[in-house]
Chain A
Amino acid sequence: MGFTEKIQSPKDMKHLEGEIPVNYLYTVGVAGERFLREIKENAKILGVRCKKCNLVHLPPRTYCERCFEQLDEWVELANEGQVETFTVCHFDLDGNRLAKPDILAVVKLKGANGSIIHRIQETHDRDIYIGMTVEAVFRERKDRVGSILDIAFFRPPAR
């Protein structure tokens, strides 16, 4: 094999294949539990305010990482917020081209200092911009399972 030859696929060479079994289960924790249950039961997004620094944490946590204060003042947030940043995905996780691009965005909800990462739909990827107002669209009550995907997506509100 000369220096100029280039192998595109590792399978063209003598190779060994393997698969490492990896399993994981992540429990959402005390604050995550209340946050997701509220979305599931009441279609409401909660944040938690720090009494000391006044920061409203989203997603909620049990303590403030700035002042180490225990957090227990839960506040209901608006279902509306602004696009902090976004990306348009044309490929899925396995590298296959998507029929329709997926828009992922960091959405800062009104009344919160933090943001959540979610999908944006019902808009064209050319029309989205940083600072755009978007609202949460929840799944039907019967389809909600206590996951962040109980919010189906965010979309620009009808004016």
Chain B
Amino acid sequence: MSVKIKEYPGTPIREEDLKQGKVLSVSYQPKAKYIWSVGVAIGRYLAELKNGRIIGRQCDKCGRIVIPPRMFCEWCFRPNDRWIILKDSGVVNTFSVSHISADATRIKEPLIPAVIQIDGTTEAGILHLIGEADPKRVEFGMRVQALWKPPQERKGSIMDIRYFRPVER
């Protein structure tokens, strides 16, 4: 409430009013199910992650390698040309230190989501987590390498890479 307005207009209700049926209401839970078909490029990308390899697509006109891969170069406006097997190392392009999880509950060990520019590519990168690192010492341009899950645990998902960890120099 502010100085001018002592009480807001409207009809205040409390959660108990709903529970006790004092207030009529309608509740509904729509089933928001979806299937996302990953397409040709991401399909191959995920299949290669299962093999423990990171793969990108190269455009012959501008020479750029894109990852995650797509079959089209949006710079040159043409289909791109070839698959390139990349290294599983790169540099931290940007990062964040998160003390809460996806459902906004506090977590003890902070998560460090980061955009990692894979070696051989020239821009942006892939979003992943940084592990085995002191959050206070993570910095832009820091060299990191993928820590893969063992082959039998891989599912063809980006989480087949457990996290990226700093490379000792």
Contact = CB atoms under 8 A, between A and B. Distances in A.
A30 B26 contact: no
How many chain A residues sit at the interface, stated as a range, is 20 to 34
A25 B37 contact: no
A26 B25 CA distance: 5
Interface in A17-47: 17-30, 32-33, 36-37
B153 to A, nearest CB: 18
B36 interface: yes
Interface stretch (B27-35, B62-70, B118-126): B27-35
B23 A25 contact: no
B25 A25 contact: yes
Given A25-B26, A26-B25, A27-B25, A17 B37 contact: no
A36 B37 CA distance: 45
Nearest to A11: B35
A26 B7 CA distance: 23
Contacts, number: 72
A14 B38 contact: yes
A147 interface: yes
Interface residues of B, number: 25
B32 to A, nearest CB: 4
A23 B37 CA distance: 26
Q: Is the interface of B mostly helix, strand, loop or mixed?
A: mixed
A30 B10 CA distance: 9
Nearest to B30: A22
Interface string A5-21: 00000110111111111
B43 interface: yes
A23 B31 CA distance: 9
B13 interface: yes
Contacts of B39: 13
Contact of A27 (B23, B31, B38, B42): B23
Interface string A137-159: 00000000011000000000000
A15 B23 contact: no
Given A14-B43, A37-B24, A23 B29 contact: yes
- The 3 closest A-B CB pairs, nearest first, are A20-B32, A14-B43, A25-B27
